[in-house]
Amino acid sequence: MSHTSTQGGHSADILSHTEAGVTTLTLNRVDKKNSLTTAMYTALADALELAQADERVRVVVFQGHETVFSAGNDIADFLKAPPVSPDVPVFRFLRTLSTFPKPVVAAVCGPAVGIGTTMLFHCDLVYAGDNAAFSMPFVNLGVCPEAASSLLAPQRMGYVRAAEALMLGEPFMAEAALEMGLISRIVPPTEVNALAQRQASKLAAKPTAALREVKRLMKQGQAAQVAQCMAEEAAVFGRMLGEPAAKEAFGAFLEKRKPDFSNL
Ligand code: COA
């Protein structure tokens, strides 16, 4: 089975290609650094649901471009359609990904900002280019973490390193991410997508039921906690978006100036 489709409205911002049991979802909005719009979250959630239901799909791969994985939420789109309810596409995408029963592989090069990093906590194998730069700058935008990263970042990275990443919001490079156990391996950017495909093919050749059970058993211990954390983060995030710090931060981004939080 080989099938390619474009998703995400008219702009083909998400490409979906299925071949030999592997569905590859490509973030394809490079001119805007693969920042994610509501339409793209809907396309990703739809594609994951299709992949989950289709028995022929055995593995999902996420990839971006050799120069950028994702700049996180599209800030202009965010302001137009703020994610103020748990049913909005971004949270639907995160719920679908975090409970996805089949293996998920990610190939990451260049900046992986915000959800570009936090979605990786829900992927099983993560391959990164040596140019990968991860960041979770929620605080700089006056909002809180999402994707259960307030639970999973301290767990994976240790509290003080998570605090540095989530409180300062500064990028950390692939080497640090490897050392902290956030990614599986580092290769040159030109080789990342090919490596992810090779590993996905290996997974696709394995017995599906056994893989599903491995994943389920590894994750079941805290599945309820992850879901509860995501729900709480979503509620807080929605509230904070309406507060002055977020307004200042988003306004500053759009006006291409530094935000001023001195009175906030
Ligand atoms: N939302 C909307 N547009 C974005 C964007 C975002 N999150 N990130 C980048 N873009 C746009 C820029 O506005 C610019 O558009 P323009 O060409 O129309 O002016 C274009 O993408 C290129 O971005 P630029 O900043 O010039 O690229 P860069 O290579 O210098 O830097 C990043 C890349 C990812 C480091 C930088 O764009 C960035 O920090 N983006 C914001 C990340 C962020 O805060 N995301 C929210 C997380 S919750």
pLDDT per position as a tens digit, 180-230: 999 999 999 999 999 999 999 999 999 999 999 999 999 999 999 999 999
110 within ligand 1 shell (Cβ under 6 A): no
Average pLDDT of 131-143?
97
Question: What is each CA distance from 216 to 102, 141, 148, in whole angstroms?
Answer: 9, 34, 18
β-strand partners of 185: 127
User: Does the Cβ of 75 fall within 6 Å of ligand 1?
Assistant: yes
Q: Which 3-state string (H, E, C) describes 55-123?
A: CCCCEEEEECCCCCCECCECHHHHHHCCCCCCCCHHHHHHHHHHCCCCCEEEEECCEEECHHHHHHHHC
- Pairing mode of beta strands 172-173, 133-135: antiparallel
Query: Percentage helix, strand, coil, to 5, in the chain?
Result: 50, 20, 30
Residue 150 has pLDDT above 60, yes or no: yes
Per-residue model confidence as pLDDT tens digits over 12-62? 999 999 999 999 999 999 999 999 999 999 999 999 999 999 999 999 999
The token pair at 170 is 């500064």
Residue 184 Cα to ligand 1 midpoint, Å, equals: 26
Fold held by 2-188+216-254? 2-enoyl-CoA Hydratase; Chain A, domain 1 (3.90.226)
Ligand 1 mutation target, pool 33, 94, 144, 255, most atoms within 8 A of CB: 33
* 30, 31, 34, 35, best to mutate for ligand 1 pocket (most atoms within 8 Å of CB): 35
Task: With cut-offs at 50, 70 and 90, classify the pLDDT of residue 6.
Answer: low
Write down the residue that tokens 């990275």 correspond to.
157
Radius of gyration in angstroms for the set of CA atoms belonging to the chain, rounded to a whole number = 18
**Cα of 154 from ligand 1 centre, angstroms:** 27
The length of the chain in residues reads 264
Distance 56 CA to ligand 1 centre (A): 37
Ligand 1 centre and the CA of 190: distance in Å? 22
Looking at residue 16, what is its pLDDT? Answer: 97
Q: Which of 140, 189, 191, 198 is nearest to 168 (CA)?
A: 140
- Report the distance separating Cα 75 and Cα 252, nearest Å: 11
Q: What's the pLDDT at 213?
A: 98
Has residue 1 got a pLDDT over 60? no
Of the candidates 26, 31, 29, 3, the residue with the CA atom closest to the CA atom of residue 15: 26
Half-sphere exposure of 152 (CA within 13 A, CB side): 27
Take atom 29 of ligand 1 and give the residue whose Cα is closest: 33
Residue 7 has pLDDT above 70, yes or no: no
Structural domain boundaries of the chain? 2-188+216-254
- d(CA 220, CA 215) in angstroms, rounded, equals 8
* Res 9 pLDDT > 50: no
Q: Say what the pLDDT of residue 10 is.
A: 40
80-136 per-position pLDDT tens digit: 999 988 889 999 999 999 999 999 999 999 999 999 999 999 999 999 999 999 999
For residue 14, the CA-to-ligand 1 centroid distance in Å is 18
Enter the pTM of the model.
Answer: 0.96
Q: Does the CA dihedral 219-59-38-79 come out positive or negative? A: positive
